[in-house]
Amino acid sequence: MANRSNLQTALLTLPVLLFATSVVAQTTNRIPETDVQNWNDVQLTVPVNKKIDLLMQGTLRLGDDLTKAIDERFGAGFNYKLNPHITLQESIFGRVARAPRGRSEHETRLTFGATMQTPIGKFGLSDRNWFERRWRDPQIDAWRYRNRLRLEHPFQINRAKFTWFVSDEVFYDWSLHDWVRNRAAVGVAHTFNKQFTLDVYYMRQNDGRTRPGDLHIIGTVWRIKL
């Protein structure tokens, strides 16, 4: 009888233990929806002639609350200045990323589009339109459209030249047939000389499709012109 009682107790306890183990595993493996990241871009511009610039760029992103390198990129492209108000862009780059749970991602991205800019009094307004073809592994290949509006205004502190800017960018993904992402940013650019400008910004990203998708980002863009 004692053995039978012990067997019944074990059979009743087993489902509870399995359920608890499943809950703990799901909690442990759950990918957070938010993250704090640091994005750093270095851009090197080499004028080819008065209308064409060669652009090379490298990127390093830190994530997991600024504790790990999660994204590395390197690429090159060209800017074509049609006139003072319209610039065409074309670029290609490779991307290697460490996704959550240590899964590796690889991507080759082709980008082409145009930026339209116009002065509004002492302000500058630009509208950037990009189309991207993304060859990705392990995700499926996809097309994406990006539209960014940016407003900026120059100012000086003593003789130092600065420009403050605000921007908002939306993303449409044809693989999901939806507007999937929004990035709003505010920052300051400082021109050290004709060859070097530094942008420092804060960006808030909202994305309900990826994990983590809602990001707080502190970023820098180091612009070097030869």
Quick one: average pLDDT of 192-205?
A: 96
Task: Give me the helices (H) in 2-63, please.
Answer: 2-29
Domains with residue ranges and CATH for the chain: 31-225 (2.40.160)
Per-residue model confidence (pLDDT) at position 23: 40
Bridging pattern class, strands 52-63 and 34-47: antiparallel
- Judge whether 86 and 112 are in contact, CB under 8 Å: no
**Among 11-25, 26-40, 125-139, 180-194, which is the least confidently predicted range?**
11-25
Residue pLDDT, tens place only, 133-154: 999 999 999 999 999 999 999 9
- Mean pLDDT, residues 157-186: 96
Q: Are 206 and 35 in contact (CB under 8 A)?
A: no
pLDDT of 200: 98
Is residue 62 a contact partner of residue 69, using CB atoms and an 8 Å limit?
Answer: yes
Annotate 168-193 with b (16+ C-beta within 10 A) or e (fewer): ebebbbeeeeeebbebebebebeeee
Rounded to two decimals, the pTM is 0.84
